[in-house]
Amino acid sequence: MRRVIFNQKGGVGKSTITCNLAAISAIEGKRTLVIDLDVQGNSTQYLLGAKVGESDKTVALFFKNSLSLSLFGGNSNASGLEGIIHETPFPNLFVIPSHPELDPLQGRLEARFKIFKLKEALEKLEGFDNIFIDTPPILNFYSQSALIAAEKCLIPFDCDTFAREALYTLMHTVAEVKADHNQNLEIEGIIVNQYQKQANLPRQLVEELLAEGLPVLASMISPSVKVRESHSVSQPLVHYAPGHKLSDEFRALYAELHNQ
């Protein structure tokens, strides 16, 4: 299953959700890959920590290679991704790191119509049960590439009035990509993040989304300083604090996605 975690609003927890769902998938025995398309590299840092700068084998190299035309084809069985996949310290969990070079590459990739290259590469890639794609907080070449390459889209929502207004635009964007480029793409659900059930505004916003028939997932993620702590030690919560409430919430979210 290929999932993209996407929201055009920053700070909604895309990388945290990506890495924690992927970590649970790996613990469940699924060979799992995270692809970090955000130039900030938060998922890369979360999963690899200090190892991040040890190699130039990143997703930027994949896109750079896609700009090089081989008149003689090369290895038709290769996806172009195998050589940039890194092991993490966690069994069954792998990552394709981000790199700052993604920014200057973007214009060239758009001009050369390389928007389908990630999809083509992932369709050839073998050996992974689950793939999670982290995206930049903007609709650009990389987030569109991810939406075209994915089968399911998860939308983090951080219980903010502005986030609610942006949600309709975001869902229209996903529908447009589905209609134009990827008929298999489905919105799997809206993940309510930073949810404080005792506060009036978050509860009201969620109730309104449900009343409108939007696909809000039942499993919601609470705010906690444990998230920042897990970031600082480069360990997903299920490894850093397996008995914590947030780890249980992520496990419930993963179970809900796989029992729908």
Give the pLDDT confidence of 162-202 residue by residue, as tens digits: 777 788 889 999 999 999 999 999 999 999 998 887 788 88
Calpha distance 154→144 (Å, rounded)? 14
Within 8 A by CB and 6+ apart from 225, the residues are none
pLDDT of residue 229 exceeding 90, the answer is yes
Q: What's the pLDDT at 166?
A: 81
pLDDT in tens, 1-45: 999 999 988 788 999 999 999 999 999 999 999 999 999 999 999
Query: pTM for the complete prediction?
Result: 0.93
Mean model confidence pLDDT for the chain? 91
Is the pLDDT at 69 greater than 80? The verdict is no
CATH for 2-258 is 3.40.50.300
Tell me: pLDDT of 67 over 60: yes
Is the pLDDT at 151 greater than 70? The verdict is yes
